[in-house]
Structure 1
Amino acid sequence: MKEIKEKIINKLERLFEQRLLPRLVQWIEYLETKIRRYKHLEMKSKLKFSGSGVRFKRDLRIEHPQNISLGNKVYIGQDVLLDGRGGITIGDNTTLGFNVVILSANHDYKSNDLPYEHNIYIHKPVVIGRNVWIGGNVLIVPGVSIGDGAIVAAGTVVTANVDPLAIVGNQPMRIIKYRDKEHYERLASKQVSEDNS
């Protein structure tokens, strides 16, 4: 009796794996696509402006969408983050590759507290022109403008304005400037004394 039961269970498992499971996977993928499309439409409706032909590839994250404007035929790749606190404008026919991060707000490193206050930000809009191509894994910092027809190579950290038609990339790491040492030491010693109290 036990052997018959095991044979029946094995047969049912094989049928499930061979016939039902592939169909379930297809159905789940279909549902995921429909859900993602619904979420993308929902996201577009929350934007300050969304032109015609705007396309999102798979998953992306948009924060503060009410401050983001996307022109016509903008393509945004997979795993992109748009932080619209300071405002982001992207012109017509622009392409953002996968894993692009655009920030329009940053912590105020001159604030008077350590660790940094989470609610004190400097907002600076980011403006990206028309017909711009931004490669994968690009980081664009607050306050940057990228001119029409420019290309930003993959892996670039964009820290300054990019002229129209310029091709930029491969920026080596360098020291930009130093923080005010006295100000930092004063804040650090204050923090140590508070932690010891």
Structure 2
Amino acid sequence: MSSIILASASPRRAELLEQIGVAFTVQPAHIDETPGTSEMPVDYVERLAREKALAVAISFPDKLILGSDTSVVLDNVILGKPSDAYEAGTMLAELSAKTHRVMTAIALVQGGRCESRLVTTEVTFRKLLEPEIAAYVASGEPMDKAGSYGIQGLGGIFVKEIKGSYSAVVGLPLQETAALLADAGCPVWKHWPSSRESQS
């Protein structure tokens, strides 16, 4: 399993891979993440996941490369990472008392072949108060998060309901990631530790 490379600098994705027992190294991808003209969010997210994995695979042709991308989408508009505190507060106010979609794509490159999966989860926020938005922005947590919030952190108190994959909202859909690795001949469960004592 050490032949796996995560093409992402996200500590959250790394933690999720560790959670399911995957041994890996990290090699962040550096690509242009600008959406194409009239590009739909669903196409954008999957394209970025594939491009990240393929970009790293050029330097590591014998490795399994995992790339992923997550976007928060409200009314078919992508809410990316905020550029400053004002934008973070504005995004959170827009998400207040509404249901948005979190789209996360995972791609796996093996021997020049790229397979990908897209997971869409519906997340509903309760009504957010201005003072708590201000306090959350001041915490700094929103600044490196798509949509200006982290469901696994302080922002978790804003979530009223979730329909779909929690891990995908955090940044990596575990079921789909494990399935891609299994299809590539690396089922994660074969590397889980065992607490059973030898019977011999």
TM range (shorter): under 0.3
Q: Scaled by the length of structure 2, what TM-score is found?
A: 0.23
Structure with more relative contact order (C-alpha pairs < 8 Å, separation 6 or more):
2
TM-score by length of structure 1 reads: 0.23
The structure carrying a bigger helix percent of its residues is 2
